[in-house]
Amino acid sequence: MKVLKNILMFCGVFFIVGTLVFATKSTEFSNNDPKKVVANDSIEKNVASEYRISSIDIPQDLNFAGEIVPQEDPEIMERIDREFLVNTYWQSNALLLMKRAHKYFPVIEPILAKNGIPDDFKYLAVAESGLTNVVSPAGATGFWQIMRETGREYGLEINSNVDERYHLEKSTEVACKYLNRWKDKYGSWSLTAAAYNAGPGSINKYMGIQQVDNYWDLLLGDETGRYVFRILAIKEILSNPEKYGFHLEKDDYYTAVPTFTVEIDEPVASFADFAQQYEINYKILKRHNPWLREPHLNNSSRKKYAIEIPNKGYYKETK
């Protein structure tokens, strides 16, 4: 009986070892199959042929707000090339900017036009904030990155309850006033844009030290030195997406939800309760009124405020 068990065990081990050896040999033969090697090479060639990264053909007639860019200067061209490459090949960001621009440019454009600001300055807002209500480490806030002191100087209400730097229409009006003020001083839209980014004090200092009177000849810090060139690249790419490899269908773009206005001139104890009166929730109310900074409104002065309420049918109703 013991001998029989040993024989059976030996046969089992032999069978397992044989199976493993056969499997190994089969894998080797399969890996050496010339048809498979050709197929793999073909896949690699297809990927290489369909995915190409190339230099950008820079338009030869670039201008910022009507000011001709001195593209005959090789140093200027290198700076332009950098911004075109960075902003073209940062595809996810470019797509987001295109989608947001479709939603917000119709609000910004008529305000710029009304105040005599060139349409190109809508791209300054893109460069400043990516068309989002961001806050910089220095405290600059909103689409136009307005500092607290500047906002108050130009008439915006800024306190714990209300911060109108988050109000797109009102902050755009302030940006226009600021831009017109410094255009009157500098006589140049490119210098005005640089002053918007770095502050007029910095621009005045650099112009005095370097004894130059235009943006293109100024040696500035990295951010402001790239600033107008970045705006130029954003303008060109967003204006001609197909030319730079971006394809969006009509439904791909973000669109504004239609709203109506409710005026209030009294305190609001709870904006959550206020929102429910219009069958929306607090989150949706805040999306349309980001300048309301707290879930209540003190309003002891009985100031009149215009609250945007979305039309019915665009959000799930809250009851």
Whether residue 2 has pLDDT greater than 50: no
Catalytic position from the list 128, 164, 173, 236 = 128
Determine the average pLDDT of the residues in 23-52: 52
Determine the average pLDDT of the residues in 12-23: 49
Q: Among 26-30, 50-54, 296-300, where is mean pLDDT lowest?
A: 26-30
Contacts of 153 (CB under 8 A, 6+ apart): none
Task: Give the Cα separation of 150 and 140 in Å (integer).
Answer: 10
- Report pLDDT for 316: 83
Please report the DSSP string for the chain in residue order. Answer: -HHHHHHHHHHHHHHHHHHHHHHHHHHHHHHT-HHHHHHHHHHHHHHHHH---------TT-EETTEEP-TTSHHHHHHHHHHHHHHHH-HHHHHHHHHHHHHHHHHHHHHHHHTT--GGGHHHHHHHHSSS--B-TT--BTTTTB-HHHHHHTT--BSSSBBGGG-HHHHHHHHHHHHHHHHHHHS-HHHHHHHHHH-HHHHHHHHHHHT--SGGG----HHHHHHHHHHHHHHHHHH-TGGGT----GGGS--PPPEEEEEE-S-BS-HHHHHHTTT--HHHHHHH-TTB-SSSB--TT---EEEEEEPTTSS----
Q: Among 44-48, 106-110, 306-310, where is mean pLDDT lowest?
A: 44-48
- Report pLDDT for 244: 94
Topology given in CATH for the domain delimited by 63-245: Lysozyme (1.10.530)
Q: What is the mean pLDDT of the chain?
A: 89
The neighbouring-strand residues paired with 262 are: 307
Q: Among 47-51, 219-223, 257-261, 265-269, where is mean pLDDT lowest?
A: 47-51
Tens digits of per-residue pLDDT, 258-307? 999 999 999 999 999 999 999 999 999 999 999 999 999 999 999 999 99
- Report pLDDT for 39: 53
> Letter for the amino acid at 241?
P
Whether residue 50 has pLDDT greater than 80: no
Q: Among 3-12, 124-133, 216-225, where is mean pLDDT lowest?
A: 3-12
pLDDT band at 8 (very low <50, low <70, confident <90, very high): very low
- Report pLDDT for 53: 82
What pTM, to 2 d.p., does this model score? 0.83
pLDDT band at 13 (very low <50, low <70, confident <90, very high): very low
Whether residue 16 has pLDDT greater than 60: no
Length of the chain: 319
Determine the average pLDDT of the residues in 107-130: 98
Whether residue 96 has pLDDT greater than 50: yes
Does the annotation count 50 as an active-site position? Answer: no
